[in-house]
Amino acid sequence: MTKTLNVGMVGYGFMARAHSNAWANVSHFFETGYRPVLKAAAGRNVSKVRRFAQMFGYESVETDWRALIARADIDAIDICVPNDLHAEIAIAAAEAGKMVLCEKPLARTEAEGLPMVEAVEKAGVPNMVWYNYRRIPAVTLAKQLVADGKLGRIYHYRAQFLQDWTISPDVPQGGAGTWRLDVEAAGSGVTGDLLAHCLDTALWINGGISSLTAMTETFVKERKDALTGAVKPVGIDDAAAVLARFQNGSLGTFESTRYARGHKAAYTLEINGEKGSLAWNLHDLNRLAWFDHGVEGTLRGWSSVLVTDGDHPYLGKWWVPGLIIGYEHSFIHQVADFLEGLSTGEPAAPTFRDALATARVCDAILASGRSGQWVEIAS
Amino acid sequence: MTKTLNVGMVGYGFMARAHSNAWANVSHFFETGYRPVLKAAAGRNVSKVRRFAQMFGYESVETDWRALIARADIDAIDICVPNDLHAEIAIAAAEAGKMVLCEKPLARTEAEGLPMVEAVEKAGVPNMVWYNYRRIPAVTLAKQLVADGKLGRIYHYRAQFLQDWTISPDVPQGGAGTWRLDVEAAGSGVTGDLLAHCLDTALWINGGISSLTAMTETFVKERKDALTGAVKPVGIDDAAAVLARFQNGSLGTFESTRYARGHKAAYTLEINGEKGSLAWNLHDLNRLAWFDHGVEGTLRGWSSVLVTDGDHPYLGKWWVPGLIIGYEHSFIHQVADFLEGLSTGEPAAPTFRDALATARVCDAILASGRSGQWVEIAS
Amino acid sequence: MTKTLNVGMVGYGFMARAHSNAWANVSHFFETGYRPVLKAAAGRNVSKVRRFAQMFGYESVETDWRALIARADIDAIDICVPNDLHAEIAIAAAEAGKMVLCEKPLARTEAEGLPMVEAVEKAGVPNMVWYNYRRIPAVTLAKQLVADGKLGRIYHYRAQFLQDWTISPDVPQGGAGTWRLDVEAAGSGVTGDLLAHCLDTALWINGGISSLTAMTETFVKERKDALTGAVKPVGIDDAAAVLARFQNGSLGTFESTRYARGHKAAYTLEINGEKGSLAWNLHDLNRLAWFDHGVEGTLRGWSSVLVTDGDHPYLGKWWVPGLIIGYEHSFIHQVADFLEGLSTGEPAAPTFRDALATARVCDAILASGRSGQWVEIAS
Amino acid sequence: MTKTLNVGMVGYGFMARAHSNAWANVSHFFETGYRPVLKAAAGRNVSKVRRFAQMFGYESVETDWRALIARADIDAIDICVPNDLHAEIAIAAAEAGKMVLCEKPLARTEAEGLPMVEAVEKAGVPNMVWYNYRRIPAVTLAKQLVADGKLGRIYHYRAQFLQDWTISPDVPQGGAGTWRLDVEAAGSGVTGDLLAHCLDTALWINGGISSLTAMTETFVKERKDALTGAVKPVGIDDAAAVLARFQNGSLGTFESTRYARGHKAAYTLEINGEKGSLAWNLHDLNRLAWFDHGVEGTLRGWSSVLVTDGDHPYLGKWWVPGLIIGYEHSFIHQVADFLEGLSTGEPAAPTFRDALATARVCDAILASGRSGQWVEIAS
């Protein structure tokens, strides 16, 4: 018998829309034993939260997240607000016995995230962090190929997340649209926003990172505050590049920037193993590039696998071969796995604890960017 | 004030799912003045239609489409059944005063489609055919570029729709999954199923076709009937290729097949004009290839435009630059335009009459495939 | 013991340069038993032929091709002049007992080519036509894959040769640089110049064409004569598109134009078979796209084979894996095979007779373009 | 009046073949005032050097490079032997008053290279190091675009050189074919062999590197000696990755490995500037990817410029638009520029001194790989 799951959304921005779309659609395609109900949305601006709720069909609104958490008819709190608010809301939700789903990164630092982990674990509530790219079918397939040993020993893991939207010095910091440039709200720049995605995927597919060294840079040193107009120093990292050693002996290189003209959301990854290699690009997310060294010599080449067949991860639930899905589907898949996890009792990853490991690596990157030294990562 | 639009769906297969997804989601992203309600779904198999209705949230089910049309609480009938049933249902719906939305092709032939056109026009009901690929943002952008004269005089229009799913002679014909191979149900093979898409786009972007010659072929001459198991002659065209002359003086080449190994749903088009060219591929539907002859000589090249920015068609309603959408979004866009058309009184294209012109070209292709002669197309 | 082969070149234009480069370099990389000597070059303009001879190291020059043929120290005549001169020179050379190598197409028509074939066969002299694209390693590999049955039954053969250099009506016809636009000199437009390449490859890889229908067009109806400045009707085909049936039951589509903005020399081909498909593009000539249906389902995709390894055709003679070769190497390979043929007694293809079959298809295309009828091709 | 330049080649391996091809062909296409004569080749193995000389047309052979340098009829010495022999030969040649062309890298270390620089400068002889990739037309065009300010301020420079040919532990070290794995002969592994190319291009296009940190790794710790069969420790770096800061404030990331399965000679580079970006790949060396932020928003995209037109660097000397050239042409261009430099008195870059700067960066990479520390580079 299908159960309902009453969702309380905190926020009404870009991520709240992506998550709401997932909650609204998952039951149209996946049979998980649970049917989410978009119960209530919370946001400080009442007209904005009302319009948001109306569009997505939330039954009611709140203007204080505490009120949302206090409601008995809410089963799960979904946190879609700037990073500096994650901890307080998540801990309160956990203490109220709610399931907690938190947009990534878990928190601004590992230190800030640790009490969140402790809270959900103490409360024993289902919890998850929205590192959604794991559920792009091509990425899930990549994970399976590595796990199945198709690549053999791994030598290299390479990832980049390139954007270009902050090149103009006229882009402000802070406020609703540009809080990601405000170090107070965001905790860091590209490291927590973009590299964190790359790291989550890497740790999942290739295991732990044992040590790293990093270079960080802030190209635009001062920006106006979006709310006050005052020119203030920029505290975030505009770009970060990392050399890393994985526990399995492979080498990692990671890079992220918002100053790579021509790239919008170019998250790319490549893995080189003894028996094969694979590569992927968020811009063409339905394709997985695959090189199989086992193919006879004259016909070996990089294959572009269009990951849209019924036997590809998640695709059996969608359309027919050749018809692609988009960015937003990764969230639907994540919700589907979360709900499935409620049914089976096997928590869907990444949990808060999983995400803490990513936060630890982010901290190390920022520390190394300051010190110029290699940093060891506790496993 | 937003009005509701009660939708009655006929069918529960692949297309019914794609359309239902569109009805269910359009209001989450587009403000058109109308909010669709998934009111009822009709299908002969009661358990299948119930499961379908439950997943997508239809409020009720019918097992006879006539009952659906008879219901006073239904505003629009959406026809998602095999081609041979389009005419009867559409005409009945129009006569009942319902809006009618019909999956493409309009009918099996122009002759069969004409009474459908007459019925909706006589009834004065809003009507539309689901040639959804017009609403892929990159295709819409292509249309705009040609209309704006960015390509100058057009010399060549080229389109293909390549698949490979019927190569095995073990694929049956008829039945729920393979009615597209049964000439009685489908009317034709690749011509009505695939080329019709290419033709709809071509007529829309490049204007009318004045004459054509075609080659058609049926590679597998006999197949089992999916229901009875009896081996029967195959009546459809497995492949079709066309040479055409457009009214604007440009040359057209069209090809479709289900025997192009390695292609799943490879609808590609290319347009060459005096000042520029463009190309598009359904497999990578968010990209538009664009060659601008106006660029200085040493830097001229084909650009891959990632059509995901806020100022691209429809994209301002979705995510942020670089984050792609999928196949299904074309249906959401089509519903949005249909609803917008209800609000403004400007009917959204393609109407039944628009689709009749495509049927006329399909008929000419099949006739030429039989006769080997050039066929003139009435404009 | 290596023998010398004294080459007499007729012409000093683009093709004479490409052939001379081949004669000059073949012995640096291929050991065939013969070493060509660039003995003499003939051309009407004495200063131009002298400069040409000096750059490529021809030992002497002639200003009359008859004088070249009359020389006892010339073993082979290489014809690199406009198409209308091929027959007379080739026949004279054959009658003088010279080996004859003729730039493609063999002649302006099959009727003009037939006496050339008869002359070389009567004289018993080695002869070859420079359909050089057979010797692009990726194309040679394609031929091998089809011949080895890797694709199984062939369903579709598709080729295009797209250019854009004559779009401007200011491009003249006739003269040294633009004789290809003069129907007297060239015989036809894109059919003999570009489609002939596509057809040579197709007949070689996929066997004979049994029938075809074609559409031809001349977009610019009048052009100035490059020499006299007089405006004259344009007699060539600017564009041609063809539907064809091969003897093996597969369908062919061919297209060529000089009005495809953005394409320089875009000779592309694709072959779809039951078990696999392949595709190739002259612009990226070192790559062969290959789809192997035998690969397990979730990993199937089009592979981009970088044809640069030592076990790829001809590549063992060049550099190391990953380092590409260019257009001109196809001529070097053709010379190598020609010389190897002299050593072994196995004539290198395509001979004059082979090229006559291509001329026959070209004639049929032009005839069908005029009549609009399907044309049967004698095999 | 054209002068002759008598070339004495030291070596007969892969590089000797590439250089000889350049010397043999340059005059067929470029008019520089000089015509090289392949005068003599020197190598220890008399039968090998004879066969090499015969194939490329060297007039004579020597089995001792000292004898070659001693000959009065030799104008220029071209050094194509393992790295450990560069210094002795180059210094001797300079002292004998010969022009000296040395295969890259200049030497195993900066310290070893410095006396070479001093020798050629003291002797006042023309000198050049074969960092041939500067003369790939697309790379030359990239240099011009950056120099012309088309990219504006540079933020990022990224380069990789990926191969996969030493993954098997059965590949030996030392000897004729695998001296690049022997640290004594090569000086280093991928750093001197592959990264040196990336660095030469980077320093040329983007200016000096001020500091860097690096990670190096040797995946296979022991290999057999190719000559003795004895298992010995591997002294080279199998992989190296670098974070760098350029003097102009941009960030650099560099990586090279011979363990990237599926990559043969994948030298790629990308440069991101304020106004545009560009990217290039050796495997498709005729293409330059170019993103122009100045294009109107909806049509912006990465362009694939096929660098084959007459107004592209060097291409006016070759074929016609669309017809590509290969790897080896970069050497022909370098010889052409060298000869042109002799005529004009403007030395062609990179000179020995230019190459010393690259050696300095290579040394820093290896040092940082050992120490884990950032290293400052003297400018």
Could you tell me if C197 and C317 lie in one domain? Answer: yes
Domain that holds residue C15: 3-132
Q: Tell me the nearest-neighbour CA distance from A295 into chain C, angstroms.
A: 9
Question: Binning pLDDT at 50, 70 and 90, where does residue C225 land?
Answer: very high
User: Which tens digits make up the pLDDT trace of D75-128?
Assistant: 999 999 999 999 999 999 999 999 999 999 999 999 999 999 999 999 999 999
Q: What is the ipTM of this complex?
A: 0.97
Could you tell me if A206 and A111 lie in one domain? Answer: no
Note the pLDDT of residue D173: 97
Question: Binning pLDDT at 50, 70 and 90, where does residue A379 land?
Answer: confident
Question: Binning pLDDT at 50, 70 and 90, where does residue A1 land?
Answer: confident
- C296: pLDDT strictly greater than 80: yes
Note the pLDDT of residue A209: 98
Residues of D engaging B, defined by a Cβ cutoff of 8 Å = 141, 145, 288, 290, 292, 295, 297-306, 309, 311-312
Could you tell me if D89 and D212 lie in one domain? Answer: no
Token code pair at residue C241: 């598109």
Residues D57, C28: C-beta atoms closer than 8 Å: yes
User: Which tens digits make up the pLDDT trace of D289-324?
Assistant: 999 999 999 999 999 999 999 999 999 999 999 999
- Asked if A106 and A119 count as a contact pair (C-beta separation under 8 A), the reply is no
Token code pair at residue D126: 């023309």
User: Which tens digits make up the pLDDT trace of D257-284?
Assistant: 999 999 999 999 999 999 999 999 999 9
Could you tell me if A112 and A156 lie in one domain? Answer: no
Q: Tell me the nearest-neighbour CA distance from C300 into chain A, angstroms.
A: 6
Q: Tell me the nearest-neighbour CA distance from D267 into chain B, angstroms.
A: 22
Cβ-based neighbours of A230, under 8 Å, separated by 6 or more: A224
CB contacts of A21 in chain B (<8 Å) are: 25, 28
The beta-strand segments (E) located in chain A are 3-10, 34-42, 60-62, 76-79, 99-102, 127-129, 154-162, 209-217, 222-224, 231-233, 239-246, 251-257, 266-273, 276-281, 287-292, 302-306, 375-376
Residues B155, C276: C-beta atoms closer than 8 Å: no
Which of A21, A321, A326 shows the shortest C-beta gap to B28? A21
Of A131, A156, A190, which one is at a domain's C-terminal end?
A131
Note the pLDDT of residue D359: 98
Q: For chain C, list the contacting chains (3+ Cβ pairs, <8 Å).
A: A, B, D
- As a whole number of angstroms, the distance between CA C133 and CA C269 comes to 12
User: Which tens digits make up the pLDDT trace of C167-180?
Assistant: 999 999 999 889 99
- Asked if A329 and A134 count as a contact pair (C-beta separation under 8 A), the reply is no
Nearest to C352 by CA among C131, C81, C41: C131
- A247: pLDDT strictly greater than 90: yes
- As a whole number of angstroms, the distance between CA A366 and CA A371 comes to 9
Q: Tell me the nearest-neighbour CA distance from A291 into chain C, angstroms.
A: 8
Nearest to A362 by CA among A375, A348, A349, A352: A375
Could you tell me if D264 and D317 lie in one domain? Answer: yes
Nearest residue on chain A to D275, judged by CA atoms? A261
Could you tell me if C205 and C285 lie in one domain? Answer: yes
Which of D21, D263, D284 shows the shortest C-beta gap to C284? D284
Q: Tell me the nearest-neighbour CA distance from C295 into chain A, angstroms.
A: 9
Q: Tell me the nearest-neighbour CA distance from A371 into chain B, angstroms.
A: 34
For residue A81, the domain's CATH number is 3.40.50.720
- As a whole number of angstroms, the distance between CA D247 and CA D206 comes to 9
Residues B28, A328: C-beta atoms closer than 8 Å: no
Q: How many CB pairs (< 8 A) connect B and C? A: 113
Which of C319, C332, C339 is the best residue to mutate to test the D interface, defined by the most D CB atoms within 10 Å of its own CB? Answer: C319
Note the pLDDT of residue C215: 98
Residues B29, A282: C-beta atoms closer than 8 Å: no
- D22: pLDDT strictly greater than 80: yes
For residue A369, the domain's CATH number is 3.30.360.10
Could you tell me if D209 and D192 lie in one domain? Answer: yes
- Asked if C25 and D24 count as a contact pair (C-beta separation under 8 A), the reply is yes
Residues C265, D320: C-beta atoms closer than 8 Å: yes
Q: Which residue has the tokens 């009822």?
A: B40
Mean pLDDT confidence for A210-224: 98
Number of helices followed by number of strands (H, E) in chain B? 11, 17
Mean pLDDT confidence for D20-36: 98
Residues of D engaging C, defined by a Cβ cutoff of 8 Å = 14, 17-18, 20-21, 24-25, 27-29, 31, 55-57, 163, 165, 263-266, 282-287, 306, 308-309, 318-329
Could you tell me if B147 and B267 lie in one domain? Answer: yes
Split into its structural domains, chain C has a count of 2
Query: Which contacts (CB < 8 Å, 24+ apart) does range D310-314 have?
Result: D311/B297, D311/B298, D312/B298, D312/D137, D312/D141, D313/D137, D313/D140, D313/D141, D313/D144, D314/D135, D314/D137, D314/D140
Could you tell me if C117 and C160 lie in one domain? Answer: no
Residues A299, C309: C-beta atoms closer than 8 Å: no
Residues B24, A28: C-beta atoms closer than 8 Å: yes
Nearest residue on chain D to C55, judged by CA atoms? D28
Note the pLDDT of residue C241: 98
Residues C303, A298: C-beta atoms closer than 8 Å: no
Could you tell me if B141 and B127 lie in one domain? Answer: no
Note the pLDDT of residue A222: 97
Token code pair at residue A190: 């590209």
Q: For chain A, list the contacting chains (3+ Cβ pairs, <8 Å).
A: B, C, D
Note the pLDDT of residue B319: 97
Which of C327, C329, C330, C339 is the best residue to mutate to test the D interface, defined by the most D CB atoms within 10 Å of its own CB? Answer: C327
User: Which tens digits make up the pLDDT trace of B352-373?
Assistant: 999 999 999 999 999 999 999 9
Of A109, A131, A153, which one is at a domain's C-terminal end?
A131
Which of A4, A9, A160, A327 is the best residue to mutate to test the B interface, defined by the most B CB atoms within 10 Å of its own CB? Answer: A327
Which of B299, B301, B305 shows the shortest C-beta gap to D299? B305
Question: Binning pLDDT at 50, 70 and 90, where does residue D247 land?
Answer: very high
Residues of C engaging A, defined by a Cβ cutoff of 8 Å = 141, 145, 288, 290, 292, 295, 297-306, 309, 311-312
Q: How many CB pairs (< 8 A) connect C and D? A: 111
Of D79, D108, D132, which one is at a domain's C-terminal end?
D132
- A327: pLDDT strictly greater than 80: yes
Nearest to C202 by CA among C132, C270, C249: C270
Could you tell me if D236 and D270 lie in one domain? Answer: yes
Residues A260, D155: C-beta atoms closer than 8 Å: yes
User: Which tens digits make up the pLDDT trace of D173-200?
Assistant: 999 889 999 999 999 999 999 999 999 9
Q: Tell me the nearest-neighbour CA distance from D321 into chain C, angstroms.
A: 6
Which of B156, B219, B275 shows the shortest C-beta gap to C260? B156
Could you tell me if B172 and B280 lie in one domain? Answer: yes
Cα-Cα-Cα-Cα dihedral sign, residues D134, D138, D140, D146: negative
Please name the helix (run of DSSP H) or strand (run of DSSP E) that holds residue C2, with its range, or none: none
Note the pLDDT of residue D334: 98
The beta-strand segments (E) located in A131-221 are 154-162, 209-217
Note the pLDDT of residue D1: 75
Mean pLDDT confidence for C163-169: 97
- Asked if C354 and C185 count as a contact pair (C-beta separation under 8 A), the reply is no
CB contacts of D300 in chain B (<8 Å) are: 303, 305
Which residues of chain B are under the pLDDT cut of 70? none
